[in-house]
């Protein structure tokens, strides 16, 4: 879905042609054995699977086990995280999704394929893949294994459902990798790591044509920092009125960071403008974000999606 100049359009009322009206015989509900008419069949919910690690789980924040009962954790570990936020956003938008997750902290996509694929080797409507934060633990920034594992997973899911919608989540810059000596992105701009992760996701998508698109989480974090919604450096104190998107370890996300991640995921998958959720959105309230903070993060998500 295209978002031109940040303006969202609803399409559907202006049909170019109208099908002839069905006859009374054709449109009448089928009678039941008792003579009563049957109710219209309700469409089945879309299925969506999240595969990832602690960044999908919502680790080191109140989001981790929040509303875990609304989603299916294939490992029975009790996580809610980003998938549970997605589920609540969809419900508030009037959309029906059956949400599942398969996660393991500190692991790459290769681990999930090699060790866990029996848990998710079936047909899904949508799959979101989230790679390890530095792509390769031994060789930070190297996308080689990422690209190979995206290809393996995509082949598995396409075999089960040729129409599956596969997305790659491009995650955020880690402050510890930017500001601490020894970090692979040390002394580079805070946006650099997220930009590199996005470039790797773009490469993986190009090498695996069955991947439908990128979920630009890292770009939303960058936008939040460059527009003054979020503080870019947690090591020198947090500026008044700005959000800290990182957790206490300056690695994982805070509630605000996961909330922004889920907003971008929701908008990218559904095509719904995240700002339509409104400042009184339930998840923000339950997780302790103010109305103003929720609205600001929703605006960042909308603008990020509008600009690709």
Confidence band, pLDDT 50/70/90 cuts, at residue 12:
very low
Which CATH number, 3.40.50.2000, 1.10.1200.10, 2.60.40.10, 3.40.50.1110, labels domain 47-306?
3.40.50.1110
Mind listing the pLDDT tens digit for each residue in 242-280? 999 999 999 999 999 999 999 999 999 999 999 999 999
Q: What is the pLDDT of residue 36?
A: 52
Question: Once rounded to an integer, what is the mean pLDDT over residues 86-96?
Answer: 98
Residue 74: how many other CB atoms lie within 10 Å:
17
Beta-sheet pairing, 126-130 with 165-169: parallel
Residue 242: how many other CB atoms lie within 10 Å:
15
Mind listing the pLDDT tens digit for each residue in 42-53? 789 999 999 999
Rounded Cα distance between 218 and 202, Å, is 13
Mind listing the pLDDT tens digit for each residue in 92-127? 999 999 999 999 999 999 999 999 999 999 999 999
**Does residue 30 carry a pLDDT above 70?**
no
Element (H, E) at 46: strand 46-52
- Kindly report the pTM of this predicted structure: 0.87
For helices 217-226 and 291-306, the axis angle rounded to 10 degrees is 120
Confidence band, pLDDT 50/70/90 cuts, at residue 308:
confident
Residue 50: both structure tokens together: 């999240």
Domain boundaries, the chain: 47-306
Q: What is the pLDDT of residue 297?
A: 99
């Amino acid at each position: 879905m295209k978002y031109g100049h940040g303006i969202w359009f609803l399409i559907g009322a202006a049909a170019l042609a109208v099908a002839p009206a069905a006859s009374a015989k054709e449109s009448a509900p089928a009678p039941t054995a008792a003579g009563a008419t049957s109710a219209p069949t309700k469409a089945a919910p879309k299925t969506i699977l999240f595969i990832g690690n602690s960044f999908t789980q919502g680790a080191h924040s109140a989001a981790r086990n929040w509303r875990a009962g609304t989603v299916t954790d294939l490992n029975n570990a009790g996580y809610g995280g980003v998938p549970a936020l997605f589920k609540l956003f969809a419900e508030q938008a009037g959309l029906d999704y059956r949400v599942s997750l398969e996660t393991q902290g500190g692991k790459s996509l290769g681990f999930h394929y090699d060790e866990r694929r029996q848990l998710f080797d079936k047909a899904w409507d949508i799959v979101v893949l989230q790679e390890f934060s530095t792509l390769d633990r031994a060789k930070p920034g190297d996308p080689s294994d990422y690209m190979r594992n995206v290809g393996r997973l995509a082949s598995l899911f396409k075999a089960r459902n040729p129409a599956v919608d596969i997305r790659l989540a491009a995650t955020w810059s880690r402050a510890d990798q930017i500001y601490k000596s020894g970090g692979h992105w040390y002394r580079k701009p805070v946006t650099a790591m997220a930009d590199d992760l996005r470039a790797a996701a773009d490469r993986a998508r190009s090498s695996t044509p069955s991947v439908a698109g990128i979920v630009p989480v890292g770009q939303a974090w960058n936008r939040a920092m460059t527009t003054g919604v979020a503080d870019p450096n947690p090591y020198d104190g947090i500026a008044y009125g700005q959000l800290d998107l990182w957790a206490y370890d300056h690695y994982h996300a805070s509630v605000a960071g996961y909330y922004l991640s889920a907003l971008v995921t929701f908008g990218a998958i559904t095509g719904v403008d995240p700002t339509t959720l409104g400042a009184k959105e339930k998840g923000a309230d339950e997780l302790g974000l103010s109305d103003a903070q929720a609205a600001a993060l929703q605006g960042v998500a909308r603008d990020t999606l509008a600009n690709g």
